[in-house]
Structure 1
Amino acid sequence: MRPLPRRRAALPVAVALTAALLAGFAPGADAPARASTASASTLTDDLDLLLADPRLAGATAAVKVVDTETGEVLYAHDAQRLVLPASTMKLVTSAAALDALGTGHRFATDVLATGRSDAGVLRGDLVLRGGGDPSLLAADLDALAQQVADSGVRLVTGAVAYDASRYDDVPLGSGWAWDDEPYYYSPQISALTLASDTDYDMGTLQVTLTPGEPGTPAAVRITPADTGVTVSGSVTTGQSDSPFTVDVTRRHGTGEIVLSGSLPAGSGPDDEWVTVEDPAEVTAHVFAAALARHGVRVLGRDPRAVTAPAGARQVAHHESAPLGDLLVPFLKLSNNGIAEHLVKEMGRTGAGDGSWRAGLARISDFLHRNGLDVTPARQADGSGLSRYDLVTADRYTALLSYARKQPWFATWYEALPIAGNPDRMVGGTLANRMQGTAAAGNVHAKTGSMSGVTTLAGYVTSPEGRKLAFAVLLNDFAGSSPRPVADRIAVRLASGPAPAAQLRSRVAPGTEGQVDEPVPSKGVRGRTWD
């Protein structure tokens, strides 16, 4: 049985005609001609047809399309319905962070000395103090150790200590799933943390497994090294035609990485990513090893947590790239950790409280001050990983329209994933989507996906030159993902009317089933995320 057409939000005829007369015909500076009432009707029919896709049978769809220059609503379907946003929540977090912190905001990491120094001997501790940097790398810690050595310190009678007190000690967001904890997209949040690569998935380690001869254990390499974590189990090398069954996880509540499964001989190295327990302590271990490499001897044994005393003096300093630059890995690659750091940083800079509660209050204030809380909503985290988050399509199109008038818009717009561009730092999570269509290179939008959720919200320029904001929020499906429906809506907005058969085939062949993320799965095979 074919499903009934999806019900769309109805506008009174008089209101619709008035909107068309006032906005539908007046050309803008960069729009040669506005769509006629007939064109608007065609768009409604086309999007209704797309939302009648069998994959949406029994599911929830909230969709809205607006002209950002005139405010004209071109299409609305359950636009005030509260639904799970997944990673499109990062639109709200990033816009609020740009408003609160500015594109030039940087995160600092310091090394402090707590005692007096004489003839190369520091009689006290070296404290590694985190400033919330979500992009700190092992190479940055090595550079800090070099600065310490260059300052003349050769012997530390105390210990390497670490201070993560800029943010609170709540490591995981409200409504996050416990079984996501080992995976790179669900890191513990700390003011002192370390990323394993330049995707800046902080609080994670890269586990590289290299097969040997059949029947022998695969070689294991942990990056960064010297983290203090333990590894148990092993991965076996199977025959060259054997299945890949590798599993890399972390024992719940511990720092123990557990290996199991098999990978085929001759298959080449396999990279997996796993989160750490207590990112600040792990970071301090890596720093202590860097000090040793630079000839700084520390008599104290294991790193310990402290709050640096007020009189401690700075001996080394590192600053992150500005926020405007960090937006690229944040939004292109849908980095959950950066989102949560921004929430806590907003709380710290605004209220002196580096917590989710304080940061989310500041986001709420941003939305209220600018009239963007046009419908009820609920935000429980910065990334959209929480199952407590609820938004509406109305809220998203209001935010997207507002953002176009802000001084930070160009930076934000270019940081969004761009449909069909294979460069992972341009196309991001849209690199493999809508290739070969009118949406490729045109649609700038944030993706979102988790079990039962696929979302897409951003910008597209219509064939008439109209600058459109759109939100497609699809929830509550249990079977095949309706992600192609979201893509087809974006392509329809970019390309204009088409016969029904063509409309339903406007996604490039072979791309419908691809996941959002165009890079290796980082240890989450079989899961949907974004």
Structure 2
Amino acid sequence: MRIRPRHVAAICVAAAVLVLPGAASADNANNSALGKDLDALLGDASLRGGQVGLVVRDADTGSVLYSRQGDSLLLPASTNKLFTSAAALEVLGPDYTFSTTVSGTGRRVGSVLIGDLYLKGTGDPTLLAKDYQDLAAKVAASGVRTVLGDLVADDTWFDSVRLGPSWAWDDEPYYYSAPVSALTVSPDTDYDAGSITVKVTPGVVGQPAKVELTPATDAVRVVDTATTSAAGTSPAVVVDRPHGSDTITVSGTIPAGGAAANEFMAAGNPTAVAASVFRKALADNGVRVVGGTSFRATPAEATRIADRKSIPLSQLQVPFLKLSNNMHAEILTKAAGRKVHGQGTWDAGLRALGDKLTGLGVDPAAMQRVDGSGLSRMDLVSSGQLTALLVAAKGRPWFQSWYEALPIAGNSERMVGGTLRNRLVGTPAANNLHAKTGSMTGVSGLSGYVTAANGQKLVFSLLENNFLAGSVRSVEDAVALRLATYNGAADTAQPRLAPRVSPQHAPADRRTALECAWTKSC
């Protein structure tokens, strides 16, 4: 598959072993063994020329054990989701659910609805094609068999601004940058709202490849020029969606007898996709809609026919945080705005979330957040603010479920380890470190909780910006491991840190430089 523009990391810089000599940081007065080791780790060659913020605190008292540029404003990438998820729990509550309703206007004559059928969403990212089948079955069970009017899709719970501020245009075709809508359908139980899975399967040599969409929809046009190449040749399939369009293009070659190629793409119009899936579900359940599909708000006088509730927010936090789902973050942001200010917009949502962050040890005026996910390069936060949030969150009634929803290092179970499941395996940090990852080209971060060797609970936030190396994950892992081996008053220097693989030996596909959520590899 094509290497996506954002996935192409910068040229790697040669690096030596993990521990390099480094001067003590200007804002770190701690001259302990821990401080010296952390200074050395942050002197790694992969971070040369970049900016680094690291703060370590006692999780119970909030006292600072280490700080290096703790007040510096840096790009957080997906560690921004810590702010969004915690504040959303405060605004919406752990038991919050999204509702999807089907209503009718006009009058009923037997099994005929002389009017329109309305499908209204409030942002539920967990709707699958089977859930639309269930809604359609409820409509049929109500006695409606013919709708003389239109099927109307109502996504007005949120505004019509689909993409976040300063999101990259070349990310637009891909699932992690899908348009935000109040009415969507997800292709899988990761709940990638507003996305479509494109499966490309080889046919007979020299003949076209076969393309299958999940969910199946006629709201997306597919232009397939991909062909089947000889068995044993290298696959070279490119799936794309031209800027601003509803057309998915499939080109290149795929070898006969080889594995299918899969790509997760963002739908150009997620509301239209949801409407098409529901229309088919109605037909499957014996409900005929005579009119076309239109898009507008549900009238106040409409009569409810069927509805569906999502899983509660406390459960949604698991796929949201474990798999670093961008769309969940944005949906929760707009949902907060709708609840507090009556507007499903980024501006209203960020104001609503910001007001709750003040009660979580964070000053919203001292940072800049323009979206909920961290996909924007306009977001600016500090390591100090992230650790303040982590300390304050421990006192909230929803803390334990939120803590368990964070990725857990070294745990191979996908919905336990999440984006950390292949990191720090077999170390004292494995099944210990609960933390949020984040990465974009030249940006990386790791923030969360770790229990030290002496039983002390620690919080930390490490943010790295403007580095040229493909990945700095080895530095983050070394910092997390050092904290896991911290021994309080009896702590001594830990010189025996394993050397890391030099970046020039990194895999040729530099997508591995970014967290696995970008490529659906976790």
TM-score, normalization by structure 1: 0.89
Distance of aligned partners of 1:351 and 1:519 in 2 relative to their CA distance in 1, 3 Å threshold: closer
Q: How does 1:412-427 map to 2 (within 5 A)?
A: 412-427=402-417
CA distance in 1, matches of 2:193, 2:364: 34
1:453 equivalent to 2:443? Answer yes
C-alpha contact 1:50 1:504 (8 A) present in aligned 2: no
Equivalent positions of 1:109-258 (< 5 A) are 109-258=100-249
CA shift, 1:265, in A, is 2.4
Which runs of structure 2 are paired with 1:107-506 in the superposition (5 Å)? 107-301=98-292, 303-373=293-363, 376-496=366-486, 502-505=496-499
Do residues 73 (structure 1) and 64 (structure 2) align? yes
TM superposition shift of 1:108: 0.2
Q: Deviations over 1:333-372 (max 9, x none)?
A: 0000000000000000001011000000012111224441
Does residue 5 (structure 1) correspond to residue 3 (structure 2)? The answer is: no
**Structure 1: which amino acid aligns with 2:215?**
P
AA partner of residue 224 (structure 1): P
**Is the Cα contact below 8 Å between 2:62 and 2:388 reproduced in 1?**
no
* Structure 1 residues 392 and 425: CA distance shift in structure 2, 3 A: same
Aligned CA-pair RMSD: 2.2
Amino acid in the other structure paired with 1:503: L
* Superposed displacement of residue 479, structure 1: 2.6
Deviations 1:159-196 (A, max 9, x none): 11111111111000001001100001001001111111
Rounded Cα–Cα distance in structure 1 between residues aligned with 2:479 and 2:169: 34
Alpha-carbon distance, 1:11 to partner: 5.3
Alpha-carbon distance in 2 for matches of 1:439, 1:511: 24
Secondary structure of residue in 1 paired with 2:78? helix
Q: Which amino acid aligns with 1:434?
A: L
How many Å apart are 1:297 and its aligned residue? 0.9
Q: 2:45 maps to which residue?
A: 54
Aligned length: 495
Structure 2 length as normaliser, TM-score?
0.91
Distance 1:386 1:275, change over 3 A: same
Find the aligned partners of 1:125 and 1:177 in 2 and give their Cα distance.
Answer: 38
Q: Distance in 2 between matches of 1:386 and 1:371?
A: 23
**Secondary structure of 1:261's aligned partner:** strand
| Offset of residue 374 of structure 1 | 8.2
C-alpha distance 217-501 of structure 1, shift in aligned 2 (>3 A): farther
Q: 1:251 to 1:177 in 2, by over 3 A?
A: same
Is the 2:225–2:252 Cα contact (8 Å) retained in structure 1?
Answer: yes
| Distance in 2 between residues matched to 1:249 and 1:137, nearest whole Å | 23
Residues 64 and 519 (structure 1), Cα distance of their counterparts in 2 relative to 1, 3 Å cut: closer
Q: Which amino acid aligns with 1:199?
A: D
The question of whether the paired residues in 1 share the 8 Å contact of 2:337 and 2:344 is answered with yes
- Does the 8 Å contact 1:231/1:256 carry over to 2? yes
CA offset at residue 210 of structure 1? 1.1
1:36 aligned residue: none
| Contact kept? 1:488, 1:506, Cα under 8 Å | no
Q: Partners of 2:432 and 2:125 in 1: how far apart?
A: 30
Paired residues of 2:350 and 2:371 also in contact (CA < 8 A):
yes
1:321 deviates by 0.2
Mark the runs of 5 or more structure 2 residues left unpaired by the alignment.
Answer: 1-14
Which letter maps to 2:416? V
Structure 1 unmatched runs, 5+: 17-39
SS at 1:425 equivalent? helix
C-alpha displacement of 1:262 = 1.7
Q: CA deviation at 1:273?
A: 1.1
Higher relative contact order (CA 8 A, sep 6+): 2
Q: What amino acid does structure 2 have at the position aligned with 1:334?
A: S
Task: Give distance in 1, aligned partners of 2:34 and 2:513.
Answer: 27
How do residues 26-105 of structure 1 correspond to structure 2 at under 5 angstroms? 41-105=32-96
Deviation at 1:520, TM superposition (A): 9.0
Contact 2:34 2:493 in 1 (8 A): no
Cα deviation per residue 1:494-518 (whole Å; 9 max; x = unaligned)? 12367665224489xx999955655
Alpha-carbon distance in structure 2 between the residues aligned to 1:506 and 1:319: 48
Contact 1:428–1:517 (Cα < 8 Å) also in 2: no
Distance 1:182 1:374, change over 3 A: closer
Distance 1:413 1:151 in 2: 43
Q: Does the Cα contact within 8 Å between 1:333 and 1:517 map onto a contact in 2?
A: no
Closer/same/farther in 2, CA of residues 353 and 295 from structure 1, 3 Å limit = same
Runs of 4+ more than 4 Å apart? 1-4, 497-501, 510-520
